Amino acid sequence: MTAPDNILENGQENGSGTGTVAALETVATATCFGGTQGTYAHHSVVTGTAMRFAVFTPPGDGPFPVLFWLSGLTCTEDNFTQKAGAQRVAAELGLILVMPDTSPRGDDVPDDPDGAYDFGLGAGFYVDATVAPWARHYRMYSYIRDELPPLVAAHFPADMDRRAISGHSMGGHGAITIALKNPHMFRSVSAFAPIASPSRCPWGQKALSGYLGPDRAAWRGHDACALIGDGARLPDLLVDQGAADPFLDEQLQPHLLREACADAGQPLTLNLRPGYDHSYFFVASFIEDHLRWHAAHL
């Protein structure tokens, strides 16, 4: 499978309320384990900005199952692509990897006024903001759910009936909550060091109050523990967490996810990995386990 031409036009209706599938610009490609690792750009109707995402397409003709990977705070589409070492196993398994950016970007996109890393650019938290000035562009939930999948389906040899989702930290929160809210979309869900209950940690409280306002009832739809408590379910859930993660106790709180799943009868495999921190050294150490787990479900 070769990468898309430099500009691809497609007038197919995507069925998600965003109109026709956008033209896709190829920013860069490289051959990788016999497949193609590429970075692509398009105009997003959902965010009103240019957006970028990366795709690894394995060798062969497909169609291939698809894993969507959501990255964490400060990341772009490059972090997982360059640091996780996932392409070798994805090529072996015949698995497309899709890695979007973590927020809209551009001169007109607002950022945290204090320049903090945990809100604004690089910190979209995979929600649809409802509070000005964030509501205009910060709509990462709808981007991941509604706009990105039709783009992948239109331009890559993807079997969209076989989809999985995973992510790290803020992206782990996004992967679990998006799957809980849309259980028909994904056959398997996993996460690395997810923010288990953003309503009960500083990162999440800042983001949810900033994007959604002070009403905590609105936060429940973007809190994995609250969603599970309210009846949302997944067939299975795999989570890996580093025991030496400096954010473990204050921000990530995996015990809250374990308790919510136990109370609800939600299947969960939670692996606490001694000695591992929050970095991509941790992700790279266990990404093969997750990819093989997803492949078995797909």
Closest CA to 74 of 176, 169, 177: 169
Distance of CA 146 to the CA centre of its chain: 13
Which residue carries 């204090």 as its tokens?
A: 114
278: annotated active-site residue: yes
- Number of helices followed by number of strands (H, E) in the chain: 10, 10
HSE, side-chain direction, 13 A CA sphere, residue 268: 26
Beta bridge partners of 35: 32
Q: Could you say which of 101, 128, 223, 245 is catalytic? A: 245
Q: Could you say which of 155, 168, 278, 294 is catalytic? A: 278
CA angle 178, 179, 184 (to 5 degrees): 125
User: What order of strands is seen across the sheet that includes strand 158-167?
Assistant: 7-8, 24-32, 35-43, 50-57, 96-100, 64-70, 158-167, 188-192, 238-242, 269-273
230: annotated active-site residue: no
Q: Could you say which of 169, 190, 197, 285 is catalytic? A: 169
Q: End-to-end CA distance of the chain, in Å?
A: 20
In whole angstroms, how far apart are CA 134 and each of 101, 146, 206, 224? 17, 19, 13, 22
137: annotated active-site residue: no
Residues annotated as catalytic (active site), given as ranges: 169, 245, 278
